Amino acid sequence: MPDHVTTSRFILQSDARRDHLIHPLPPVWWSRPYEYAWALSFAREDDVLLDAACGISHPFKFALAEVSREVHACDIDPRITSRPQILEDIARDFGLDAAQRQASDWQHRLHLAHANLADLPYDREKFDRVFCISVLEHMTPEDQSAAIGEFYRTLKPGGLLVLTFDYPAVHLENIQQTLQQAGFAFAGETDFRLPPDALYTEMWGGLHCFRAVLHKPSDA
């Protein structure tokens, strides 16, 4: 199986992982250590980034802000714009000490917004990278299509969309079609075979995790 960072494929048990990202990650977040380790490799210092449907306590947005000059993060949960409520959620998920440390380390390069992915409040061609980590499986096919259209609109030509999603909650053939209809192309090789060493959890009826990286054509 191809093993370049831009290869779209199932995440493997042998892939790199990060059990600590800002805070130690809870064991119930079964795929996040792998998703975060892979996705962070696409963040560059001079980029303008979006963490789409970032979650409240989830640390990926903070980690991006440690790397890149400008990071935007949005979520449909209105608590995303409240610093006290974010810290409360961090304390619940990671402990009070983690929230106290985070309170003194609020990233000035991080811009938070309450938003629906189907109607993003950002200008056309604003971002170098859009990240959407384990979100699509929570959306209807219609909302997936609308969100992917918004990712395309807000990405700069040549920009990358970095995705992870649960399988079979997301149908591989359908999501490929939706991405391509929006104008995206895969940024590297693809391998849609489910290997025996694919990352797996028995939670929620049994899930694997797929990663995909796509680009918006430079002449778009």
pTM: 0.95
Q: Which tens digit of pLDDT belongs to each residue from 153-203?
A: 999 999 999 999 999 999 999 999 999 999 999 999 999 999 999 999 999
Residue 102 has pLDDT above 90, yes or no: no
Question: Which domains, from first to last, does the chain contain?
Answer: 4-216 (3.40.50.150)
Mean of per-residue pLDDT scores for the chain: 94
Q: Which pairs count as long-range contacts for 21-27, CB under 8 Å and 24+ apart, including other chains?
A: 21/59, 21/60, 21/63, 22/59, 22/62, 22/63, 22/98, 22/102, 23/59, 23/90, 23/94, 23/95, 23/98, 23/102, 24/94, 25/59, 26/93, 26/94
